[in-house]
A and B are shown apart, each in its own frame.
Chain A
Amino acid sequence: MAHANRSLKNILLRHEVLLLLVLGCEIAYFLGFARNFGTADNLTNIIRHSAEIGLLALAMMPVIVTGGIDLSIGSLMGLCAVLFGVLTHDAHMATLPAAAVTLAVGLAAGAFNALLITALRLPPLIVTLGTYSLFRGLAEAVTQGTKTYRDFDPSFLSLGEARWLGVPFQAWCLIGGALFYGVLVHATTLGRSFRSIGFSPEGTRYAGISVQKRTALPYLLSGLVAAVAALLFTARLRQARADAGTGYELLAITAVVLGGTSIFGGTGSVYGTLAGIAAIAVLNNGIGRVPLVLKAGIGSELAALCTGALLLIALAAPGIGRILSNLGQRRAAGAPSAPKLEKN
C-alpha cells in the first residue's frame, strides 16, 4: 500500500530529522572554517552558555504544546536572580536556604500565571505579557535598576565551573531537565493530555479530563525552571542583576518552534526541542569564530540574524516543499502551472 511508502518518506521529512541535518551542516562548516571551534574547551563553553536558555526552552515546550505561551520566564529569571542576591546579601541568609526560597518564589510566580490562565480563563499571551513586565519591574524596583550583587559564597560560585565525571555541571542540569521533561511529555498521561488540550481543549473536557488542572502544570513548572536558570546564571556570571535573562523567553520560543513544536499546540517533542537548542547554541558560538566575522566584530549581531533566518526557513520549508511538489505534479500531468484567472 502507498501507506508504508509514505511513512518512510515521512520519517525522512520529519522536522526533527531535517533539523539534525541542519545541525550537522553547521558543525561541519564551523569545524572547517571557525577558529578553535572543535576543541573540548569550546564544547564545554557551548554547553555552559546554553544551559539556561536550554532549560527555559524545555520548560516552554509543554506550555506551547497545550496551546499556550509563557512570555514571563525571562523576566522571572531576572526577578529570581535579584531575589537570591537580596536574600544572601541584604538578609544575610545562607546560600542553601536562600536558593530554596528562590525556587519557591519561582514556583509561586508560575502558580500566579497558572491561576490567571486557568481559573480566570484569561489568554496566556496576555497574562504572561503582563507578568513579563511585572516581574522585570519588580526586579528593577528592588535594585533601583543599578544595584549588582557580587561576592557570593565561593562554594556556590564554583558550581559555574564545576565538573562531575568530567562533564560540566550545566550539562548535568540540561540532561536532568531533558530527562524530566522527556518522561513527562512522552511517557505519562499528563503529557498526553497536554497534547490533547493543545489540539482541542473542549474535546479533552468532553473526555472527562480536567483541562484546567492539567493546563496549570506546565506554567507552574516553567516558574520553577526559571528560578533554577536564575541560580545557574548567577553562578556562571558571578553576579546577580535585574536584567538577567532579558530576551531569553523569545530565544526559548525560537528553540521550541525550531524544534518542530507547533505554536498552535498539540504536536511537538522534547528531542526536537533539544535539537533546536543545539542548533541555536552551535550557531551562536561558531559564527563568532569565523575569522571574517571575528575581524569585523559583528559576531552577536550576525548570530541573531542567522537564528532568525534559520527559524523562518525551518517554518517555511514544508510549505515550499509542498508548492514545489505540486508544481512538479502539474508539469507531469501537463496542466498549466498556474490557475488561469476567470474573467467575468
Chain B
Amino acid sequence: MTEPLLRLSQISKSFGAVRALKGVSFELHPGEVHALLGENGAGKSTLIKVVTGAHTPDGGLLEISGQAVHNLTPTRAQALGIACIYQQPALFPDLSVSENIGLRLESPAVWGRVYWRQRREKAMSLLKRIGADIHPETLVNRLSMPEQQLVEIACALGSGARTVIMDEPTASLTRSEQELLFAVVRDLRASGAGVVYISHRLEEIFALADRVTVLRDGESICTRPVRSDSGEMQLSEEELIQLMVGREVSAIYPPKGRSPGETVLELKNVSCAAGNVSEVSLTVRAGEVVGLAGLVGAGRTELARVLFGITPADSGSVRLNGKDVRIQSPRQAVELGIAYVPEDRRRHGVILQMPIAQNMSMAVHPKLFPGKWLRFGAEKALGLRFIQELGIKAYGPEAPGGSLSGGNQQKVSLARWLATEPKLLILDEPTQGVDVGAKSEIHRIIRNLAEQGLAVVMISSDLPEVLGMSDRICVMRGGRLVASLEGVDATADSIMAAALKAH
C-alpha cells in the first residue's frame, strides 16, 4: 500500500480541564474520501485544527506523507499540501474572486508587483476545472454562499493540496450545487488526492465516502469501509448512529417529575424567517422539563430567541397561561414571566465587570427598585440569598462576575432569572463549559424548579443530559420540530436519528 497522506496516532489535546481529544488515530490514503462522523462536541473541529496547524496537540504523533511533523503552523500545513474548506468561507468580501485566489496562492513578487493577467488566467482555469460558472472579476460579496465555497475549493486545488478537508461543505448548498460539489470531490479522488469529509448528512456519506471514522467524546471509536470490495454496503444508518451515540447515560440525574400540571406555553405554527424557525408547535406544562435536542444550527437557540422577543415571530400564535400573547421585546417577555438563560454566558448571561449582586438584580429592576431608586440593601440581600440558595462560590455579592468560574457564572445567570419568579424558564446549554460538580448541582436546581411548578425548556447538545433531565424530548432539525419523544421511545439512537435523517 502507498504511504498515507495523513496519519494521526494517539493525538490528544486539552483545553484547561476539558479533554477535547483523548488519543485519536486517523489515516487518510491517496485517492480516498474519508468521512469523519461524530456528535456536536465529539472533537471533529479540534482534530481538524490539529491537522491544519491551528492547534498544537499535547501528545501523539502527526505524520504527513510519511514524515513526522512537530510544531505544525497553518503556513507550514499549507506548504505540506493540506487545505481546509470551512463551513463559512473565509474570503475577503470586497475583493474580486481572482484577487482572493491570488492572495491565497501567489508568493510575493519583487517589489510586491502584481501580475494581473496571470492572476486572472489562473483563476479562470481553476474555476473552469471545478466547473464553476463564476467570472474571476466578480466581487466576492456578490457571490452566494455556495459560490464562495466553490472559490475556496478552487484555492485548494490551485495550491496543489493533496489533502483536502471539507467541514460540512453542503450545509448551505442546494441540491444541484451539491451534485456539483460531489463531482469535484470525486474528481479530486480520481486525481489521487485525499479528502477528509465531515458532514452530518448520512446519505452524503453513503454516496461519497470510501471509509468512515467515528469520533465520540474525543476518541476515535472505529474506522470502517463503507462498501466491501464487491461494492456492497457494509454499513447502515442505524449502525452509524449507534456508533456515534453508543454510550450509557453515565452521570446520575435527579429523579424525573411525576405528573405535570396545567399548560403554561402553547405554540402553534410559530415561524420566524430571520431566525430560521418554521412552523413550530409545542406545548410545555407546569412542572415539566422539555428537552430540546438537535444539531447545532437546527433552530433551537433561534426558537428560544423568538420566545424571548429578541427576534419576534412573524406568524403563528403563542399562548401563555391560556392567553394569546405577542412577544416583541425581551422587556415584554420578562413582564410576561418568561426567563431565558442564554447560551453565550460571557456575552449575554453575565456582565463580567459588574458585581454579581448587580447582575442578579438586572431583570428585576422595576420590582426590586420601585420608583427607579436603587436600594443597595435590598440588592445585597438578593445577592446573598442566591449565593446561599444556589451555592455560588464567590467572596461576596460585590465580587465581579468575571472573577467567578464558569459554573458559578452560570449560576449567577440563573439567579438573575430566578429572581424574576418566572412561569417559563428557557435554559440554553445550561451546563456547557461547566465542570462536572457544578453540572450535577445545576441539574438538581433545574429539577427542583420544575417540582415547584415551573415550566422548563432545556436546550442541550449533550445527549446524556437531555435524556437524564427531560420528561419529554423534542428534536429540531432545519428550523422545524421533527420529533417529540417520551418515555421508552426517548433514546440516544432515536434522538440522533431524528436530528440527522432526512424525511
Contact = CB atoms under 8 A, between A and B. Distances in A.
A3 interface: yes
Nearest to A266: B353
Interface of B: 310, 329-331, 333-335, 340, 342, 347-354, 358, 362-363, 365-366, 369, 372-374, 395, 416
B131 to A, nearest CB: 42
B236 to A, nearest CB: 43
Contacts of B354: 195-196, 199
A5 interface: no
Contacts of A3: 395
23 contacts: A1-B395, A3-B395, A187-B373, A191-B374, A192-B358, A192-B365, A192-B374, A195-B354, A196-B358, A196-B362, A199-B352, A199-B353, A203-B348, A203-B351, A204-B362, A205-B330, A206-B330, A206-B348, A206-B349, A207-B330, A208-B333, A209-B362, A267-B353
B389 to A, nearest CB: 20
Contacts of B416: 207
Q: On chain A, which size bracket covers the interface?
A: 20 to 34
A206 B340 CA distance: 8
Contact of A203 (B335, B347, B366): B347
Contacts of B310: 205-206
Interface string A90-125: 000000000000000000000000000000000000
A207 B362 contact: yes
A189 interface: yes
Contacts of A267: 353
B358 A208 contact: no
A196 B351 contact: yes
A3 B362 CA distance: 26
B386 to A, nearest CB: 15
A210 interface: yes
B4 to A, nearest CB: 29
Given A199-B353, A204-B351, A187 B362 contact: no
A199 B346 CA distance: 12
A219 to B, nearest CB: 19
A208 B347 contact: no
Which among B335, B348, B373, B395 has the greatest number of chain A C-beta atoms within 10 A?
B348
A188 interface: yes
B374 A200 contact: no
A295 to B, nearest CB: 50
B277 to A, nearest CB: 18
A208 B363 contact: yes
A202 interface: yes
B330 A189 contact: no
A207 B334 CA distance: 8
Contacts of A205: 310, 330
A190 interface: yes
**Which among A1, A190, A192 has the highest number of chain B CB atoms within 10 Å?**
A192
B331 A208 contact: yes
B352 to A, nearest CB: 8
Contacts of A188: 369, 372-374
A308 to B, nearest CB: 29
A188 B369 CA distance: 8
B23 to A, nearest CB: 30
B311 to A, nearest CB: 12
Interface in A174-213: 186-193, 195-196, 199-200, 202-210
Contacts of A208: 330-331, 333-335, 362-363
A188 B333 CA distance: 23
B372 A189 contact: yes
A189 B373 CA distance: 6
Closest CB pairs A-B (n = 3): A208-B334, A207-B362, A206-B348
A207 B369 CA distance: 15
Interface in A124-156: none
B372 to A, nearest CB: 5
Contacts of B331: 208-210
Contacts of A202: 347-348
A70 to B, nearest CB: 23
Nearest to B416: A207
A3 B333 CA distance: 39
Given A208-B362, A210-B329, 14 more contacts: A186-B374, A187-B373, A188-B372, A188-B374, A189-B366, A189-B372, A189-B373, A191-B374, A206-B348, A207-B363, A208-B331, A208-B333, A208-B335, A266-B353
